[in-house]
Amino acid sequence: MPSLDSDHNGSLQIGNTIAEMKKVVDFVDRFCAIHHLPRNIANDVNLCLDEILNNTISYGYDDQDEHSILVTLSITGNWMIAEIKDDGKPFDPRQSVSPNPLDGLQARRIGGVGLHFVKALMDEVDYVRKQGYNHVRLKKKLQPSD
């Protein structure tokens, strides 16, 4: 069950299965609605979380064990911040190589397109590996209210 508070913070713990990702979409949509954020912010954050979580769940674990992934949302100043913490294999999404748009489809390597979208849609993408956990931080600048 997600935890949302009035201090612009919320967190959700999910398992490492693709089926759990629906909970994240609902969590982001609720968080954005509570804080009166525009639909495009929710869409961008959902798309980026989907990409990061899908990669983590699909490629981050060498075993079939259950693992927990923590998703935290917050608003600080004019920023919406989404953080993902997992115990999967080390992976820095900032290090992915963007596909060359001039390459034909036949010449392109598989993968990398989704992470290219993450970097394009978010204003900042940060990563650190500490104490056996990946910490990915996605930051989206919010427009000042009129």
Question: Which tokens in the block code for residue 73?
Answer: 């949302």
**Beta 133-141 vs 124-130: how paired, if at all?**
antiparallel
| Distances, alpha carbon 37 to alpha carbons 31, 59, 117, in Å | 8, 32, 21
Q: Which of 81, 66, 73 is nearest to 14 (CA)?
A: 66
What is the tens place of the pLDDT at every residue in 61-87?
999 999 999 999 999 999 999 999 999
Confidence (pLDDT) at 2: 61
- In the chain, the domains with their CATH numbers are 3-141 (3.30.565.10)
CB 116 within 8 A of CB 96: yes
Q: Which residues of the chain fall short of a pLDDT of 70? A: 1-7, 96-113, 144-146
pLDDT of residue 5: 55
User: In the structure encoding, which two tokens stand for residue 69, read together?
Assistant: 């992934």
Q: Give this prediction's pTM.
A: 0.84
Residue 26: per-residue pLDDT: 97
Residue 48 has phi, psi (to 5 degrees) of -70, -40
pLDDT recorded at residue 146: 44
What DSSP assignment string belongs to 84-106?
EEE-SS---GGGPPPPPTTS-TT
